Amino acid sequence: MNTTAHPAPATSPSALHDALLARLRRVHLLGTVSGLLGWDEQVNLPADSADQRGDQMALLAELQHAAATDPETGRLLDALERQTDALDADQRVNVREARRDYDRAARLPADLVAEKARLTSAAYHAWAGAREDNNFPAFAPFLEKHLDLARREADVLGFGQKPYDYAIDKHDPGMTCELTAALFADLKTGLVPLVQRLDASPAARAAAGIEARLTGFDTAAQQTFLTEVTTAIGFNYRRGRIDVSLHPFCEGAGADIRMTTRFHEDKPLDALFSAIHETGHGLYEQGLPLPLQGTPLGQAAGMAVHESQSRLWENQVARSRAFWRHFEPRYREHFPQQLASVSPEDLYRAINSVAPTLIRVESDEVHYNLHILLRFELERRLFSQKLAVRDLPEAWRALAKELLGLTPETDREGVLQDIHWSGGAFGYFPSYCLGNMIAAQLWATVRAALPGLEDDFARGDFSRLLGWLRENIHAHGRRFTAPELVRHVTGTDLSPAPLLAYLEERYGSLYL
Q: Which residues are catalytic?
A: 278
> Does residue 472 touch a second copy according to CB under 8 A?
no
Contacting a second copy within 203-242 (CB under 8 A) = 236-241
Q: How far is CA 306 from CA 164, 171, 302, 384, in A?
A: 21, 10, 6, 28
DSSP 8-state symbol, 462: -
One residue of 10, 33, 355, 406 binding a second copy per CB under 8 A: 33
Minimum CB separation of residue 56 from a second copy in Å reads: 5
Structural contact between residues 204 and 354, judged by C-beta atoms closer than 8 angstroms: yes
> Does residue 26 touch a second copy according to CB under 8 A?
yes
> Does residue 48 touch a second copy according to CB under 8 A?
yes
One residue of 4, 5, 8, 51 binding a second copy per CB under 8 A: 51
One residue of 38, 42, 53, 79 binding a second copy per CB under 8 A: 53
Residue 48 DSSP SS3: coil
> Does residue 111 touch a second copy according to CB under 8 A?
no
- The whole-angstrom separation of Cα 491 and Cα 442 is 10
> Does residue 52 touch a second copy according to CB under 8 A?
yes
Nearer to a second copy, 242 or 404 (CB): 242
Q: What does the DSSP assignment read for 154-165?
A: HHHTT-TT-HHH
- The whole-angstrom separation of Cα 380 and Cα 247 is 27
Backbone φ and ψ for 127, nearest 5 degrees, come out as: -65, -45
Stretch that binds a second copy, among 29-37, 82-90, 323-331, 420-428 (CB under 8 A): 29-37
Nearer to a second copy, 279 or 481 (CB): 279
Minimum CB separation of residue 396 from a second copy in Å reads: 38
Q: How far is CA 129 from CA 132, 396, 411, in A?
A: 5, 20, 12
One residue of 10, 37, 113, 501 binding a second copy per CB under 8 A: 37
> Does residue 30 touch a second copy according to CB under 8 A?
yes
Residue 258 DSSP SS3: strand
Contacting a second copy within 251-270 (CB under 8 A) = 254-256
- The whole-angstrom separation of Cα 390 and Cα 144 is 9
> Does residue 72 touch a second copy according to CB under 8 A?
no
Minimum CB separation of residue 347 from a second copy in Å reads: 31
> Does residue 18 touch a second copy according to CB under 8 A?
no
Half-sphere exposure of 469 (CA within 13 A, CB side): 32
Query: What does DSSP say about strands 256-261 and 240-244: parallel, antiparallel, or unpaired?
Result: parallel
> Does residue 360 touch a second copy according to CB under 8 A?
no
Minimum CB separation of residue 109 from a second copy in Å reads: 15
Residue 492 DSSP SS3: coil
Backbone φ and ψ for 259, nearest 5 degrees, come out as: -105, 160
> Does residue 430 touch a second copy according to CB under 8 A?
no
Residue 260 DSSP SS3: strand
Q: What does the DSSP assignment read for 426-438?
A: TT-HHHHHHHHHH
Backbone φ and ψ for 240, nearest 5 degrees, come out as: 180, 175
> Does residue 59 touch a second copy according to CB under 8 A?
yes
Stretch that binds a second copy, among 43-51, 94-102, 350-358, 409-417 (CB under 8 A): 43-51
Nearer to a second copy, 15 or 220 (CB): 220
Report the interface residues with a second copy, using CB under 8 A: 26, 29-30, 32-33, 36-37, 40, 44-49, 51-53, 55-56, 59-60, 63, 236-241, 254-256, 293
